[in-house]
A and B are shown apart, each in its own frame.
Chain A
Amino acid sequence: MSPFPRNQWYVAAYAHEVGRELFTRTVCGESVLLWRTEAGEVAAMADRCVHRRFPLSEAPSRLVGDTVVCGYHGFTYGADGVCTAVPGQARVPRTARLTTYPVKEQDSFVWVWIGEREKADEALIPRSPWLDSPGYTTVCGMEPLAARYGLLVDNLLDLSHETYLHGGYIGTPEVAETPITTEVDEAAGVVYVSRHMDDAACPPFYAKSTGIEGRITRWQDIEYHAPCLYLLHSRIAPVGAPGPNPDGTDPHAFHVEVVYAITPETEHSTHDFWAVARDFALEDQEVSDFLRENNRTVVLQDVVALDKLEQVIASEPAGAQELSINIDTGGLAARRILKRLVEAGAEAGAAGRQALTAS
């Protein structure tokens, strides 16, 4: 059984990574070739020539107009994946066609559908509208993680680790000390974990970016849309400042939307996309530089820890004993949802194969 949930949308790249150069990224074990047509549309297809499996992202493969020319023997493909030319003969075999992926550019991400094409529905892609909203300034990056994606989901669903792993950056004692509230919509595959700190130290990440010098009210509201998108709504305000208004406006607070896309690369590696969108100091380049560097440092602290954890888990027999406590309430729900999605994808795949065999 695939270790990944199939029949799901995954972030394959930032929109700015995909242009008129051939670009590749492995998603759920599938090598996906990404490029833009001359009209600016993103094309997504298998990154393997049908002839001898040469990676089409590899030089001297190249884009010629709206076609990809394999650098090994010249097989040529259109944006629809159909081979239009082969060397030395006029007849192009009917089966000379690359698998293409449903693709959607949205909220600064390029999403691809991994699974059965007929089930791809763009309306199911979860949103992160801040990332390309004029009301926000965003910094972002992507770090390769040599660990299974579930470890990053565990990590992000339980932010009490900030106190210990990210002290001096985003962690303060109050994070681990403050109880959480958890909501789970099993059917929708959404986990919501809320931690509201009424009177907390302001970590450097927020003190330097907002200019707040005293203690803060700090709200962390996590929204995980399994399997790929994680949103952390972070609200920061000086202690004593008025709360949000009934109409949803909140002029006395600073808001940071921390977005992660958790995309499995292989069974034991993950693309850790991260973005930090803020609604203050929009034009301040120093704040952008600080948040980019600081958040990348925090992400890399996670990467070091999770890479090590992956080595440990991979070396142990399956089912080694763990212990879960209250802070794991949301993480356990996420694990359960992911397990169900993996099973649902596998069942759908098996049913599809059975139907093909019968027909």
Chain B
Amino acid sequence: MNTSHPAPTAMLTGATVHRVVWVPGTDRLRGWCWCGTSHETEGPVELWEWLLAHPDTHPDTHADSSAGTGSGAHLSPADRSPTSAPRSARRRSES
């Protein structure tokens, strides 16, 4: 585990987003917990296990953030808009 690698460009804007990149020139994956800590593995199964378990002492845990129906009930309508929709289309969808 280390935090020396820069986190990848973020597209999703939620508070608890996990990010996984394919390390350039290798077959390895590096995943970032939303707290900023990263970890590298040889495959996605192992990496997801690490990310989802990391750490169980987070002040704002997954269980807390997924309260409700689990269907995005906490999201504002704008959050249901596509992330990279063209600006004109996104405006329309939020109106």
**Binary flags per residue of A224-246, CB closer than 8 Å to B gives 1, else 0:** 01000001010000000000000
User: Once the chains bind, are B82 and A233 in contact (CB under 8 Å)?
Assistant: yes
Query: In the docked arrangement, what's the CA distance between A336 and B12, Å?
Result: 18
Query: Which B residue sits closest to A190, measured CB to CB?
Result: B12
Determine how close the nearest CB of chain B comes to the CB of A46; give it in whole angstroms. 23
By the criterion CB–CB under 8 Å, are A340 and B81 in contact? Answer: no
Would A184 and B45 be within 8 Å (CB), given that A119-B69, A123-B80, A129-B89 are in contact? no
How far, in whole Å, are A340 and B72 apart by their CA atoms in the complex? 12
In the bound complex, residues from chain A placing their C-beta under 8 Å from that of B27 are 326
Chain B residue at minimum C-beta to C-beta distance from A344 = B70
Most buried by B among A188, A326, A328, A329: A188
Q: Which of chain A's residues have a CB closer than 8 A to the CB of B14?
A: 185, 187-188, 190
Question: In the complex the two chains form, is A123's CB within 8 Å of B77's CB?
Answer: yes
Would you call A135 and B73 a contact (CB within 8 A)?
no
Complex alpha-carbon distance, A190 and B18, angstroms: 11
User: Does chain A have a CB within 8 A of B1?
Assistant: no
- Which secondary structure dominates where chain A touches chain B? mixed
Are B17 and A185 in contact, with the CB atoms below 8 A?
Answer: yes
List of A residues within 8 angstroms of B21 by Cβ? 179, 181-182
Contact segment of A35-43, A66-74, A247-255, A295-303: A247-255
Contact of A186 among B16, B29, B45, B81 (CB under 8 A): B16
**Size class of the A contact interface (CB-based, 8 Å):** 35 or more
Residues of A within 8 A of B12 (CB): 183-185, 188, 190, 192
Are A133's CB and B19's CB within 8 A? no
Judge if A26 is at the interface, Cβ distance under 8 Å.
no
> Residues of A contacting B84 with CB < 8 Å?
221, 223, 233
Q: Does A124 contact B (CB under 8 A)?
A: yes
Distance between Cα atoms of A270 and B11 in the complex (Å): 29
* A342 nearest in chain B by CB position: B70
Which residues A119-135 have CB closer than 8 A to chain B?
119, 121, 123-130, 133, 135
Contact partner of B44 among A183, A249, A332, A348, CB < 8 A? A332
Instruction: Digitize B3-19: 1 where CB-to-A-CB distance is under 8 Å, 0 elsewhere.
Output: 00000111110101111
Docked Cα-Cα span, A179 to B22, in Å, equals: 6
Closest CB in chain B relative to A93 CB, distance in Å: 34
How distant is A182 from chain B, measured CB to nearest CB, in Å? 4
Mark contacts of A202-235 with chain B using CB atoms, 8 A cut-off: 1 yes-contact digit, 0 otherwise: 0000000000000000000101010000010100
Known contacts: A123-B76, A129-B85, A129-B89. The answer to whether A192 contacts B11 by CB under 8 A is: yes
Min CB distance B36 to A, Å, is 15
Separation of A97 and B8 alpha carbons in the complex (Å): 54
* Segment 188-208 of A: residues with Cβ below 8 Å from B: 188-190, 192, 194
Which residues in B have their C-beta under 8 angstroms from that of A345? 69
Chain A nearest CB, measured from B88 CB (Å)? 6
Q: Cβ of B79: which chain A residues have Cβ within 8 Å of it?
A: 188
A288 within 8 A of B: no
Query: Does A76 reach chain B (CB closer than 8 Å)?
Result: no
B92 at the interface (CB under 8 A from A): yes
User: Would you call A180 an interface residue if the criterion is a C-beta within 8 Å of the partner chain's C-beta atoms?
Assistant: yes
* Contact between A341 and B70, CB atoms less than 8 A apart: yes
- What residues of A have a CB within 8 angstroms of the CB of B75 in the complex? 123-124, 188
CB distance from A27 to the nearest CB of B (A): 16
19 A–B contacts, CB within 8 A, in A order: A5-B71, A126-B82, A129-B82, A129-B85, A181-B8, A183-B17, A183-B20, A184-B19, A185-B12, A188-B79, A190-B12, A190-B72, A192-B12, A223-B84, A225-B72, A225-B80, A233-B82, A255-B86, A344-B69
Listed in ascending order, the chain A residues whose CB lies under 8 Å from chain B are 5, 7-8, 107, 119, 121, 123-130, 133, 135-136, 179-190, 192, 194, 221, 223, 225, 231, 233, 247-250, 255, 279, 324-326, 328-329, 332-333, 336, 340-341, 344-345, 348
Q: A124-B72, A181-B22, A345-B69 given; name 9 further pairs at CB < 8 Å.
A: A107-B93, A123-B76, A124-B73, A126-B82, A127-B80, A130-B89, A183-B18, A192-B83, A329-B47
Which residues of B pack against A, CB within 8 Å? 8-12, 14, 16-22, 24, 27, 29, 43-45, 47-48, 62, 65-66, 69-77, 79-90, 92-93
